[in-house]
Amino acid sequence: MPGEGTWWKEAVVYQIYPRSFKDTNDDGIGDLNGITEKLDYLKTLGVNVIWLSPHFDSPNADNGYDIRDYRKIMKEFGTMADFDHLMAEVKKRNMRLIIDLVVNHTSDEHQWFVESRKSKNNPYRDFYIWRDGHNGKTPNNYPSFFGGSAWTLDSKTGQYYLHYFSSKQPDLNWDNSNVRKDVYDIMRFWLDKGVSGFRMDVIPFISKQPELPKLPPATLAHPEYVFANGPYVHQYLQEMNSKVLSHYDTMTVGEAFGVTPEQAKKFTDPRRHELNMLFNFDLVRLDRDDWRKTDWTLPQLKATYTKIDNGSGEYGWNTSFLSNHDNPRAVSHFGDDSPRWREASAKALATMMMTQRATPFIYQGDELGMTNYPFKHIEDYEDVEIRGQWQELVVSGKVPAQEFLKNIKQTSRDNARTPMQWTSKANAGFTAGNPWLSVNPNYVHINAAAQEHNRDSVYNYYRSLITLRSKTPALIYGKYKDIDPANNKVFAYTRTQDDQRYLIVINFSEKQLNYSLPKGIKINSLVLDSGSDHRVKEGATQLVLQPWQASIYKL
Ligand code: TEU
Ligand code: CA
């Protein structure tokens, strides 16, 4: 198989959202020392790469995705000495750390922007994207993802600056070679400190459309497909690769909002020397229309997996993830988070997530089957995205408050951002202070302490899956094939490498089912099962599947 033996293909990644992971100084905000404290927990889980969401100096308009100084640590998270200590402790455990590279935009408080806005001829003016208004209005009709226009008028010079996200996140001008040079220096700074690569925030957006023509009406609802298709994105990534990445042993994953599975190869085919893999959004946004929750069916989900798998082609590589800090909790989204089925469905999803031909990314807390938060009022939300949309949609009278609230309860990013549930003690053991965002009240029974020593817990099932994957090359590299795409209750697929053949069967319903395997397929043995008492005979072609049962068989 091409690429066999590549560490970042064999890795299992764990995403940490530091603000919500573990607080060690009682200010209610997670910190770097909290991560260091929990490294043994992660080592025991079996993950070997940590992706750290932004840890840089930031005014936190978007929780660190607005960076003021790329070479400083966010003061709430600690100091550079804390970072160096964390780095050393990660290495001591033979783990690796990748960090978030957020360079489509900076904070408006970054020194480059502070300079840039001073005058039209400031040396940093061209670090950002400034335009005159058009007939007294914004330069074009670009919307911001966080509500309102993507343009803000700056009174100092009377020009508008571009920001795809909040007005506190001005977009950098990558067509300026000085911007690129400075970004590459930042990357080297962190690589030289020992990080093993980057998750790159909205990286396909770095190349803007020449002349910034206005968006035709058909693209207005999903401008990401226009933003991700600027003419120089591949040229810039190749330059970044040759100038920086190729000189280190790195892993790179691009957040590919606006990139279709068909376009993925152009980023990840190693012969093109750009990135290793992408986060494709088609799965996590399967049942989404912007902030609205829509329906999904199992055949649609399966078709998406097949499309993503095909998209990487023979040479490219994929990621597998069901949640992150921008999406609701996996079990609430794709499983059933009611007390009766939460654990079984969380295990079923874990099985699916961990057996794709891709590097798995586990989002903090998903290994415990943490759930969405029971939001009630708009005041319960903290996210800049929700506050912006509330202004644009509800305050303006376009959408009734109840309708908006009903949807965002399921789709809001804050669902995934509530503090990590460590114990059944006050504030889930996350902090001895006042948590920055409310702890999910279900921490009393959903927490790490309760699961670590329970053989049947979601946490220990993840451990088994990780162990199995790391010793089974076919589950990492093997060819992926959906063997029953139309079935709307059962997801069954094979992973094949030479004569090694595995079958994964997942019951996506709360009913017991009799399942006849497609013709020509018979079980050799059971390898791993999400329940405890399932038996299957050698040669079996019929299975009795328990509700939400997930099993891995050898064929
Ligand atoms: O997110 C990119 C992104 O476009 C979406 O996931 C976005 O957050 C939103 O949900 C679209 O409606 C990245 C980061 O992951 C996110 O946390 C940041 O807010 C965003 O970029 C800006 O840096
Ligand atoms: Ca703290």
Summarised one tens digit per residue, pLDDT across range 510-539 is 999 999 999 999 999 999 999 877 778 889
- Which ligand minimizes its atom distance to the CA of 383? 1
- Which ligand minimizes its atom distance to the CA of 30? 2
Nearest Cα neighbor of 239 from 189, 175, 195 is 175
Q: What is the DSSP letter of 395?
A: I
* Surface-to-core class of residue 196, CB atoms within 10 Å of its CB (0-12 exposed, 13-18 middle, 19+ buried): buried
Residue 281's pLDDT is 95
State mean pLDDT over 497-512: 97
Distance between CA atoms of residues 198 and 239, nearest Å: 16
Whether 14 has a pLDDT exceeding 80, the answer reads yes
* Closest protein CA for atom 10 of ligand 1: 326
Query: Bridge-partner residues for 171, per DSSP?
Result: 105
Whether 453 has a pLDDT exceeding 70, the answer reads yes
Q: Which amino acid, one-letter code, is at 469?
A: R
Whether 374 has a pLDDT exceeding 60, the answer reads yes
Q: Residues of 261-277 as b/e, b for ≥16 C-beta within 10 angstroms? A: bebbbbbbbeebebbbb
Sequence-ordered list of residues with C-beta below 8 angstroms from that of 240, at least 6 positions apart, any chain: 180, 183, 184, 187
Q: Based on the residue annotation, tell me whether 108 is a catalytic residue of this protein.
A: no
* Closest protein CA for atom 6 of ligand 1: 326
307-335 pLDDT, tens digit each: 999 999 889 999 999 999 999 999 999 99
Q: Ligand 1: which atom is nearest the Cα of residue 413?
A: 10
Q: Which of 201, 293, 324, 361 for mutating ligand 1's site (highest number of atoms within 8 Å of CB)?
A: 201
Residue from 31, 66, 154, 201 carrying the catalytic annotation: 201
Tell how far the Cα of 19 is from the centroid of ligand 2, in angstroms.
8
Q: What φ, ψ does residue 153 adopt, rounded to 5°?
A: -80, 130
> Does residue 390 have its Cβ closer than 6 Å to ligand 1?
no
Residue 1's pLDDT is 57
- Which ligand minimizes its atom distance to the CA of 225? 1
Measured over all CA atoms, what is the biggest interatomic distance in the chain, rounded to whole angstroms? 77
Distance between CA atoms of residues 74 and 55, nearest Å: 6
Residue from 23, 31, 100, 255 carrying the catalytic annotation: 255
> Does residue 65 have its Cβ closer than 6 Å to ligand 1?
yes
- Which ligand minimizes its atom distance to the CA of 228? 1
Can you tell me whether residue 106 is helix, strand or coil? coil
Residue 537's pLDDT is 85
Residue whose tokens read 């950002």: 128
* Surface-to-core class of residue 59, CB atoms within 10 Å of its CB (0-12 exposed, 13-18 middle, 19+ buried): middle
Residue 536's pLDDT is 87
Q: Based on the residue annotation, tell me whether 10 is a catalytic residue of this protein.
A: no
Q: Ligand 1: which atom is nearest the Cα of residue 164?
A: 22
> Does residue 202 have its Cβ closer than 6 Å to ligand 1?
yes
> Does residue 102 have its Cβ closer than 6 Å to ligand 1?
yes
Q: Ligand 1: which atom is nearest the Cα of residue 105?
A: 23
Residue whose tokens read 């023979």: 314
Can you tell me whether residue 196 is helix, strand or coil? coil
Whether 179 has a pLDDT exceeding 80, the answer reads yes
State mean pLDDT over 465-489: 98
The Cβ of residue 385 has, within 10 Å, a number of other Cβ atoms equal to: 22
Can you tell me whether residue 41 is helix, strand or coil? helix
Sequence-ordered list of residues with C-beta below 8 angstroms from that of 15, at least 6 positions apart, any chain: 50, 51, 53, 324, 325, 361, 362, 363, 364
Residue 44's pLDDT is 98
Helices marked H in 11-110: 32-37, 39-45, 80-92
State mean pLDDT over 417-425: 98
Q: Are 88 and 81 in contact (CB under 8 A)?
A: no
Q: Ligand 1: which atom is nearest the Cα of residue 324?
A: 15
pLDDT band at 242 (very low <50, low <70, confident <90, very high): very high
pLDDT band at 2 (very low <50, low <70, confident <90, very high): low
> Does residue 386 have its Cβ closer than 6 Å to ligand 1?
no
* Closest protein CA for atom 2 of ligand 1: 202
Nearest Cα neighbor of 101 from 245, 235, 229 is 245
343-363 pLDDT, tens digit each: 999 999 999 999 999 999 999
Tell how far the Cα of 66 is from the centroid of ligand 2, in angstroms.
19
82-121 pLDDT, tens digit each: 999 999 999 999 999 999 999 999 999 999 999 999 999 9
> Does residue 171 have its Cβ closer than 6 Å to ligand 1?
no
> Does residue 57 have its Cβ closer than 6 Å to ligand 1?
no
State mean pLDDT over 452-474: 97
State mean pLDDT over 163-189: 98
Query: Bridge-partner residues for 131, per DSSP?
Result: 160
Q: What percent of the chain has pLDDT over 70?
A: 99
* Closest protein CA for atom 14 of ligand 1: 201
Tell how far the Cα of 59 is from the centroid of ligand 2, in angstroms.
16
Whether 139 has a pLDDT exceeding 60, the answer reads yes
